[in-house]
Amino acid sequence: MKILHTADWHLGKRLDRFSRLEEQVQVMDEIVQIADAQKVDLIIVAGDLFDNFNPSVEAVELFYKTLKRLSLNGKRPVVAISGNHDSPNLIDAPDPLARECGIILIGHPKAKVTPFELENFKISNSAEGLIELHLKDISFPVRIMHTPYANEIRLKEYFGENKEEELNKILAESWKKLAEEFCDENGVNILCAHLYMNKRGAELLEEPEGEKPIKIGAADLIYSDIIPDQIQYTALGHLHNFQNIGTKEKPVVYSSSPLCYSFSEAGQTKYVNIIEAEPGKEVSYERIALKTGKPLVRKVFDSVEKTVSWLLENPDMLIELTLESDTFLKAEDRKRIYQSHQGIIHLIPKVKNQDFSESQPHEINLNQDIQTLFKDYFRSKNAGQEANEELMNLFNEILNSQS
């Protein structure tokens, strides 16, 4: 069977004041087209479906339209779990209607999904944290162990007060028990989770800028070696860069977000993962690059002329721009830069003077005239940077208004 793994959609996400909804509409369409072209049998969405607990009407509409298209109007099962950006109650809410479209939404850890049957597939078995699916044209079942994200309160509710010490242990025991009871070699066995997971002893993986952190010290760090041996593939969500932290034989994969959502992701290629699986054998997978969405770029320039020239040549991207100069950026230069490009997210002026140190003592002669005194004060507070003519004119205007 073929399975499509995707995650971290963050529908409704903004980058500063810029909406990404138009790009999200396009990339959701691209994912649907890939699913259809690859003739996948099952879709797994591993959390962070929305970007916040109260998504916009447009984001919710896009979410359900996309899931309905992915499900081929009920002919193909779609399993989606909540992530740390999602409200589990919101994800669970449309359950009866979603089931009619072949969509299985799981908001809470240890949830037990009510079995149901449609023309092309059915949930043949269900337990807390696991569902077993039978698809019409596939002779074997697929078991999906599901672990949505749990916040501090839910962790204590489900795993007890000592979750810092017990989380790995509790998850290991829970997964092991489910695997031993349901996951034999007569079916395909998958784990789907939204967690911060890492290989034991490996360098810690970085969470993206702007992402709500779920790793606090080592308290919420889950190790991949607790995944039961019966699991053939682990579909993870949370980290936005594609990576397999498992092995070739037993992949443990972050499939990536569909778009670059912060400048720490600038230059990353985004993917969906297509898994081919059958009972008792190693899975194979192929990551398929997503082509939709504006690239995020970090650029540094040392002159306004170079900045404007490059911006005019590269109109279709979102930019974090650093401009190094000897003095403050003038208002007319700032205006010119912004008028030359519609995708400037951040403009960061940076002073070239590296010789000035705030740790050095400075003496200011208080007997100077007020303009010179202000210039000395400004220099002392701005790493040796000189007040430009525009700033001095403004200072004099304020000074004269007080007389």
What's the Cα-to-Cα distance from 387 to each of 303, 322, 327, 330, rounded to whole Å? 18, 20, 7, 11
Residue among 65, 93, 83 nearest 6 (CA): 83
- pLDDT one-digit tens code per residue, 87-117: 888 888 777 788 888 999 999 888 899 999 9
Sequence-ordered list of residues with C-beta below 8 angstroms from that of 151, at least 6 positions apart, any chain: 84
CA distance linking residue 188 with residue 168, whole number of Å: 24
DSSP assignment of 56-95, as one string?
Answer: -HHHHHHHHHHHHHHTTTTTS-EEEE--TTS-HHHHHTTH
The DSSP code sequence of 337-376 is HHHT-S-EEEEEEEE---S--TTS-----TTS-HHHHHHH
Beta carbons within 8 Å of 330's beta carbon, 6+ residues apart: 388, 390
For residue range 32-56, what is the model confidence (pLDDT) as tens digits? 999 999 999 999 999 999 998 899 9
Per-residue model confidence as pLDDT tens digits over 287-324: 999 999 999 999 999 888 999 999 999 988 999 999 88
271 contact partners, CB below 8 Å, separation of at least 6: 242, 255, 256, 287, 288, 289, 290
- Please state the pTM of the whole predicted model: 0.83
Residue (of 240, 186, 1, 192) closest to 79 by Cα position: 192
Distance CA 220, CA 212 (A): 13
Query: For residue 397, what is the enclosing H or E element?
Result: helix 389-401
Sites in the chain below the pLDDT cut of 70: 151-165, 209-220, 352-367, 382-385, 402-403
Q: What is the pLDDT of residue 257?
A: 96
Q: What type of residue sits at position 167?
A: L
